[in-house]
Structure 1
Amino acid sequence: MATNMIMIPFCFLLMLLSPALSQRCNPQDKKVLLQIKKDFNNPYLLASWNPDTDCCDWYTVTCDTKTHRVNSLVILSSVPNTNLSGHIPPSVGDLPYLENLEFHKLSNLTGPVQPTIAKLARLKTLTISWTNVSGPVPAFLAQLKNLSFLDLSFNSLSGTIPPSLYQLPNLLSLRLDRNRLTGPIPASFGSFRSNPDLYLSHNQLSGTIPTSLKNLNSNRIDLSRNKFEGDASVLFGPNKTTQIVDLSRNSFAFDLSKVQFPRSLISLDLNHNKIYGSIPAGLTAVDFLQGFNVSYNRLCGQIPVGGRLQSFGADSYFHNKCLCGSPLPSCN
């Protein structure tokens, strides 16, 4: 009986303490998240952000399992026209342990890339995509030395690409595609130490490819649908390990017959340019070529026999000056 009398107050004490024990979220992190919600005008998308509950359990929020500091904030919408609107709140820069920050498919998100993001020294992934964020690609992003993935695709960004981005030592992927960017590719991009994948397609970029890019050995390069011109052969080389290259729908003009391609190529798209010369026999040694298109150029001569070149349809070779041989009509 005495034991039971002792246990009842002890259990009651545990009940009183249990809410406090369950609150893993750092109080300062929670305060910042509630400010972000307020700055977004308390959207329904963030309805789970209840001040009376543990913020580590909130929708779109992830905490480190040991420190319980917020390390990931992913705000996205699976439906169009969500009621989340406005600019990216300055308070996002006040989550010092953040490693992953993502704003995705938020059509009412506007304004510039928030400058306080530069304070997030631990950030590894930054995604702001499929929004109406505008203004320039900010040079201050070069301060995020731990950044591995930078995705600013499908926005309304304008201006030139900042040369300082090459200073990101761990960058593996740079996505600036589907914006309104102008100007050239910075020559400094030849100094990337990490050889990031480059996605710059569907912009209004122009000029020639810097010769410094001969030092770049990216797995994927997509420069399609811009206004580039001149020689793009520096992107290739027998010692590179590049797998996918898309240069289509530009005004590139160079002698294809002089280009040495890496045997690692999986896909090569050069359609709708001003490329001349003949298709080099070296392409027959590319064993794993799965995509190939040189249509709408100024190529001439016989298509080399061998390798994978005859496995592609005639539409991969159409509208050239005088290409012939399988899969096109035979040469006379």
Structure 2
Amino acid sequence: MLLLRLLLASTVTFCFSTFAYGASLLAGDEVQALRDIAKTMGKKDWDFSVDPCSGQSGWTTPYPVKGLENAVTCDCTFFNGTECHVISIVLKAQNLPGKLPPDLGRFPYLQEIDLTRNYLNGSIPPEWGSTKLVNISLIGNRLTGSIPGELANITTLKSFTVEYNQLSGILPSELGNMSSIERLLLSSNYFTGELPSSFANLTTLTDFRISDNQFSGKIPNYIQNWTNLDKLVIQASGLNGPIPTGIAVLGELTDLRISDLNGSEAAFPLLNDLTKLKKLILRSCNIVGQLPIFLGTMTSLKTLDLSFNKLSGAIPDRLSGLQKTDYIYLTGNLLTGAVPLWMLNKGDQIDLSYNNFTVETSGQPECQKRSVNLFASSSMRNTSGVVSCLRSIRCPKNLYNLHINCGGKEVTLDGSATYNDDTNDVGSSSFFQSSHNWAFSSTGDFLDDDRPTKTYIWKNSSRLSMNNPELYMDARLSPLSLTYYAFCLGSGNYTVNLHFAEIMFTDDKTYSSLGRRIFDVYIQGKRVLKDFDIVKVAGGIGKAVKQNFTAVVTGNTIEIRFYWAGKGTTGIPYRGVYGPLISAIAVDPDFIPPPEDESGGISIGVVVGIVAAGAFVILLILAILWWKGCLSQKNTMEQDLRGLDLQTGKFTLRQIKAATNNFDAANKIGEGGFGPVYKGLLADGTVIAVKQLSAKSKQGNREFVNEIGMISALQHPHLVKLYGCCIEGNQLLLGQKNIGCNWIGQ
């Protein structure tokens, strides 16, 4: 294509020099043809008062804006420079609203038609099969229907690109007869069926892309015939694995991207001869086994993405040859062992999260210690499932809600819910812990990124007309996987509200409105949304939509994950626009939280009530013991206690004396008719209240033991729980656990 453009540029230069002398003119029938196709496509700014080959008045843009191009190129060498013919029509990003012109055959020397990123609709005209086109580019329009088999008649065709349209149907087998084709780009359409067996004949291919379609069948092994292939992209195509073994002979490959394959598990493909690879993406391909050592010999690699497979074992030492690789993603596998130091030193250029690595933290929370993303490695989880690097966050109480303004500043809605600030624009693969009870982990890097701002937070530039627009003015983005993780939540059922609004596409009749953002959503590990398209569900661009789900919290945590499975457009309005986008998250309980948690502490009234209830129970126990006569010999009492399966403990007199400082008067907190009450502190830090009972009760041993068993089994939030007892010599002691504030509660 570069050679073709250089050739056309030299032809233009010759055209300009001859036209300056007034000798070269575009053939009259082609001038009329330009008028006709302009009407068909909706092109209104061509100035026919001057010759179209003049390079003036809108016929060409000498210094085009990035992405926008407007050029009619002529060859003026005919009849000794007296006649010109159109050889190229390039109208990029013109927002043309019409249809594709069927009569390109009226330009007998036309080699290129490039209508990239417009608003054209209709189908591809089969009449184009009679042309001598070399390049057809229709990227980013509204084209529908199938690809006409007549295009195979264009023996000169080298490049056919129709990505980001709405084309459908099966691929005609006639396309396998395109003897000169080098670039066949079909991604982000709705093609179905299997790849035709005739495609085995496309031995001139250098670039083949079929991502985001609905094909069926397996990746054909005949791709081994495409020995000139430089780039192969098969992401979320609908095809099944495994990756064919024939791929190992494609030694010219520099860019290999295969992801989201259906089918069974398979071993890592043998790619040791693909030494020219710069980008290797084998993501979510059901690959099992260990990381192959030959990866360490691929010193030309700039991007390596093997995430979300089932790779296991340790990282081989010989992978150190990848130290100069820009980005490495091993996210979501079963890898174990220690992480090599050279990997830890790569910062956010590497992502090792969601594996089973052992990480030495040296006493410092690992997800704060290093910028490399190791979030949720096994060494970062304790037995309750809480990520250990979050242990620095102490939960003095259970929390019962969570509100995050994803990508935006803190806002309060109508004086009620306050949505936390989430404006930290972290790097490609990072972990971020907020000052509240949540954190997030982001994975991936935007490939082929052509966005004006390299950011993971998108800010809307126009006003939004909706309820609570402040929640939707900003959004957090991720190129692959974004997980929000909340902790300190009380157990129970919660309603999770996810707020979305598409703010990266435009709400007008331009190519910028034609993008499709598609991703999946998981809550607590369960997929709750598949192939979620914000625009489709919301009913338009810039419109809010809220999706509600129920989540069960049993371990104080909740996990909300957004994942790009390779679907949707990746180049509208420019390359690098894809992946999950989330505007806000709200998590609220489906139950009434306990008053003490809801108020942030126990009220004075509750404390007084608890103390009064506790004192009453203690006096009741003493009265019963005194009346029953529970004094008996020590050995008989102990035998009775051992015979009873008590829900309480047993203390020695030595322990009680140590806890009360030998019944120090300074620890005395009360005096009743049946004995004093002391504050005590056990060796494990438990604060108890110790009631010293009289040893002269007439109650029998059996009655005393039965009463203790009954009281110890009582469970009520307003009753002081019996913690243990002491029977030694003539001492009868009851210890009750602290439940209030200060020494009385916990």
TM-score by length of 1: 0.82
Give CA deviations for 1:261-293 in whole Å, capped at 9, x if unaligned.
311111111112311122221222212111111
Correspondence list, 1:116-135, <5 A: 116-121=127-132, 123-135=133-145
Does the residue aligned with 1:240 lie in a helix, a strand or coil?
Answer: coil
Correspondence list, 1:268-283, <5 A: 268-283=280-295
Q: Report the Cα distance in structure 2 between the residues aligned to 1:158 and 1:148, rounded to whole angstroms.
A: 22
Is contact 2:191-2:213 (8 Å) kept?
Answer: yes
Kindly provide the amino acid, as one letter, of the partner of residue 37 in structure 2.
I
Q: Of 205, 211, 215, which residue of structure 1 is paired with 2:225?
A: 215
Which residue number corresponds to residue 313 of structure 2? 301
1:256 equivalenced with 2:267 (yes/no)? yes
Q: Report the Cα distance in structure 2 between the residues aligned to 1:31 and 1:88, rounded to whole angstroms.
A: 17
1:103/1:28 CA distance change after superposition, 3 Å: same
Which residue number corresponds to residue 8 of structure 1? none
Q: Report the Cα distance in structure 1 between the residues aligned to 2:221 and 2:263, rounded to whole angstroms.
A: 14
Q: Of 28, 41, 46, which residue of structure 2 is paired with 1:48?
A: 46
Give CA deviations for 1:122-160 in whole Å, capped at 9, x if unaligned.
x11111111101101221111111111111111110112
The count of corresponding residues between Structure 1 and Structure 2 is 304
Is contact 1:232-1:254 (8 Å) kept?
Answer: no
Shift of 1:248: 1.6
Root mean square deviation of aligned Cα: 2.7
Shift of 1:213: 1.5
More relative contact order, 1 or 2 (CA 8 Å, 6+ apart): 1
Q: Of 206, 229, 232, which residue of structure 1 is paired with 2:216?
A: 206
1:194 equivalenced with 2:204 (yes/no)? yes
1:304/1:257 CA distance change after superposition, 3 Å: farther
Shift of 1:252: 5.3
Shift of 1:90: 2.0
Q: Report the Cα distance in structure 2 between the residues aligned to 1:164 and 1:323, rounded to whole angstroms.
A: 50
Q: Report the Cα distance in structure 2 between the residues aligned to 1:95 and 1:136, rounded to whole angstroms.
A: 24
Is contact 1:186-1:210 (8 Å) kept?
Answer: no
1:228 equivalenced with 2:221 (yes/no)? no
Kindly provide the amino acid, as one letter, of the partner of residue 291 in structure 2.
I
Shift of 1:313: 9.3
1:131/1:257 CA distance change after superposition, 3 Å: closer
Which residue number corresponds to residue 318 of structure 1? 331
1:153 equivalenced with 2:169 (yes/no)? no
Shift of 1:111: 0.8
Shift of 1:64: 0.5
Give CA deviations for 1:237-269 in whole Å, capped at 9, x if unaligned.
156221111112222545334523311111111
Q: Report the Cα distance in structure 1 between the residues aligned to 2:289 and 2:311, rounded to whole angstroms.
A: 5
Is contact 1:135-1:158 (8 Å) kept?
Answer: yes
Which residue number corresponds to residue 71 of structure 1? 87
Q: Which moved more, 1:162-171 or 1:94-103?
A: 162-171
Which residue number corresponds to residue 265 of structure 1? 277
Which residue number corresponds to residue 29 of structure 1? 30
Q: Of 113, 129, 145, which residue of structure 2 is paired with 1:101?
A: 113
Is contact 2:102-2:125 (8 Å) kept?
Answer: yes
Kindly provide the amino acid, as one letter, of the partner of residue 77 in structure 1.
A
Which residue number corresponds to residue 110 of structure 1? 121
1:319/1:19 CA distance change after superposition, 3 Å: closer
Q: Report the Cα distance in structure 2 between the residues aligned to 1:112 and 1:239, rounded to whole angstroms.
A: 34
Q: Report the Cα distance in structure 2 between the residues aligned to 1:183 and 1:190, rounded to whole angstroms.
A: 16
Shift of 1:92: 2.0
Long gaps (5+) in structure 1: 1-17
1:20/1:37 CA distance change after superposition, 3 Å: farther
Which residue number corresponds to residue 181 of structure 2? 171
Is contact 1:96-1:119 (8 Å) kept?
Answer: no
Q: Which moved more, 1:148-157 or 1:234-243?
A: 234-243
Shift of 1:184: 2.2
Q: Report the Cα distance in structure 1 between the residues aligned to 2:286 and 2:200, rounded to whole angstroms.
A: 25
Is contact 1:111-1:132 (8 Å) kept?
Answer: yes
Is contact 2:299-2:325 (8 Å) kept?
Answer: no
Does the residue aligned with 1:90 lie in a helix, a strand or coil?
Answer: coil
Does the residue aligned with 1:72 lie in a helix, a strand or coil?
Answer: strand
Q: Report the Cα distance in structure 2 between the residues aligned to 1:193 and 1:258, rounded to whole angstroms.
A: 22
Shift of 1:314: 10
Long gaps (5+) in structure 2: 1-18, 61-70, 79-83, 344-351, 360-746
1:310/1:320 CA distance change after superposition, 3 Å: farther
Q: Report the Cα distance in structure 2 between the residues aligned to 1:325 and 1:244, rounded to whole angstroms.
A: 30
